[in-house]
Amino acid sequence: MRQGQPKEVLPVGKLPLEHLRSLLKHPSKHDPRLLIGPQIGEDAAVIDAGDRYLVVATDPVTFATAHIGRYAVHVNANDVAVLGARPLWFFVVMLLPENRTTPELAETIMADVRSACEELDVAIGGGHTEITQGLERPILVGQMLGEVAPTCLVRKTRIAIGDQILLTRGVAIEGTAILAQEMNEQLRDRVNADLLARAARFLIEPSISVVNAALAAANVGEGVHAMHDPTEGGLATGLFEMVAPAGLGLRVIREHIPLFPETDAICSALTLDPLKLIASGALLIAVAPDKADSVQSAIKATGTQVAVIGEVRPSSEEITIVTNGDIEPLTPASRDETARAFEDG
């Protein structure tokens, strides 16, 4: 960089992929028991603990302010469950804003954490709380631990050409809830009041948890080659992350992607791309064609809708989306549409 040239300032959201790759290119100490470590496309680590594998995930909650305790539990539990593991122990770091924190605020957040853990039969293992200088709103960093039998681990490296791509529920549950809650005043004159009220409850119904659907799919056994929960960056980024570890391509059909009417209305009002809106609450599954019906039946038995939205292709075909018969590249989001909405709003 030349002297006097301004330094690059990165936008709010996930670190761009090229910068993330740079951070991960220098491996740390090699430990043969660390079966899955830090890499693009993986949201949890897997440690060989002998007769079982320990699965560890950590994720913050930064966009939302309402019900952040529930968010923190569920987004971390999802990252554990998509590897076929059952979430068991939760740890949380609670950072609270100076000059705004009351005992009631801390108790409300922890009540949410306890409630979500009870729903998943998860024990709270510990964490840390503090009032932090410089914060404008609470931030939670969660960590979920779970276990899985070695033979039941679901790894993205098993994805194969021809696998069917399934999507549960639709897009984008978490982003819709956040925008309906945090930008309610901006949306009141643009979105039907009843629809906006339903969207604000998306955290509760249909919920952002994919644990039941993921474990139901994993229990089908062979044929489930990969699972991934699309989060920040939406479905577009989630699809990219799903095939990145195997270096394969994808083709998805836009008309086959379930889109909630609440999401459609809010994204239209704010001129956002729903495929790049934070999408916790949906589950992506790559499954062998001969097992697709069995996996769909298992998921539907949990009360969760599921659709086939595409298939895995050779890497030479890259990651594409078909819209009304036209094939176009499907690229990951440079930043989540939620961040763009807050900035523009």
Instruction: Please say if the pLDDT value at position 92 is more than 80.
Output: yes
Q: What is the pLDDT of residue 56?
A: 98
72 and 187 both lie in a single domain: no
Neighbours of 63 (CB within 10 A): 22
Higher-confidence residue: 334 or 93? 93
140 and 287 both lie in a single domain: no
Nearest to 81 by CA among 213, 169, 207, 242: 213
Nearest to 92 by CA among 144, 38, 45: 144
Q: What is the pLDDT of residue 1?
A: 46
**Number of domains forming the structure of the chain:** 2
**Cα 267 versus chain centre, distance:** 19
Instruction: Tell me whether residue 12 is in a domain.
Output: no
Phi, psi of 167, rounded to the nearest 5 degrees: -130, 125
Neighbours of 52 (CB within 10 A): 16
**238 touches 284 (CB < 8 A):** yes
145 and 174 both lie in a single domain: no
pLDDT tens profile 246-258: 899 999 999 999 9
Higher-confidence residue: 227 or 2? 227
d(CA 145, CA 87): 6
Instruction: Tell me whether residue 8 is in a domain.
Output: no
Instruction: Tell me whether residue 16 is in a domain.
Output: no
Question: Which of 107, 124, 152 marks a domain boundary?
Answer: 152
Q: What is the CATH number of the domain that holds 146?
A: 3.30.1330.10
Q: Mean pLDDT across the stretch 65-90?
A: 94
Q: What is the pLDDT of residue 18?
A: 77
Taking CA atoms, 202 is separated from 29, 206, 277, in Å, by: 42, 6, 14
Instruction: Tell me whether residue 225 is in a domain.
Output: yes
43 and 190 both lie in a single domain: no
Q: Sorting pLDDT into bands at 50, 70 and 90, what band is 229?
A: very high
Instruction: Tell me whether residue 6 is in a domain.
Output: no
169 and 276 both lie in a single domain: yes
Q: What is the pLDDT of residue 277?
A: 97
Least reliable range by pLDDT among 17-31, 233-247, 298-312: 17-31
175 and 308 both lie in a single domain: yes
**Average predicted confidence (pLDDT) for the chain:** 92
Least reliable range by pLDDT among 18-27, 104-113, 148-157, 192-201: 18-27
Tell me the CB-side half-sphere exposure of residue 169, using CA atoms within 13 A.
28
pLDDT tens profile 250-303: 999 999 999 999 999 999 999 999 999 999 999 999 999 999 999 999 999 999
Question: Which of 110, 128, 152 marks a domain boundary?
Answer: 152
166 and 288 both lie in a single domain: yes
Q: What is the pLDDT of residue 3?
A: 59
Phi, psi of 178, rounded to the nearest 5 degrees: -60, -45
Instruction: Tell me whether residue 118 is in a domain.
Output: yes
120 and 167 both lie in a single domain: no
For residues 200-220, one letter each, b for 16 or more C-beta atoms within 10 angstroms of the residue's C-beta and e for the rest, the string is bebbeebbbbbbbbbbbbbeb
Instruction: Please say if the pLDDT value at position 71 is more than 70.
Output: yes
Question: Which of 112, 132, 152 marks a domain boundary?
Answer: 152
Instruction: Tell me whether residue 1 is in a domain.
Output: no
181 and 115 both lie in a single domain: no
For residue 133, give its domain range. 30-152
d(CA 64, CA 280): 13
Q: What is the CATH number of the domain that holds 187?
A: 3.90.650.10
pLDDT tens profile 3-21: 566 678 887 767 777 777 7
Instruction: Tell me whether residue 25 is in a domain.
Output: no
Taking CA atoms, 200 is separated from 98, 102, 207, 235, 278, in Å, by: 27, 25, 11, 20, 15
d(CA 78, CA 43): 10
Least reliable range by pLDDT among 86-90, 263-267, 271-275, 336-340: 336-340
Higher-confidence residue: 127 or 30? 127
220 and 321 both lie in a single domain: yes
Q: Sorting pLDDT into bands at 50, 70 and 90, what band is 73?
A: very high
255 and 339 both lie in a single domain: yes
122 and 203 both lie in a single domain: no
pLDDT tens profile 189-215: 999 999 999 999 998 999 999 999 999
Residues of the chain above pLDDT 70, percent: 97
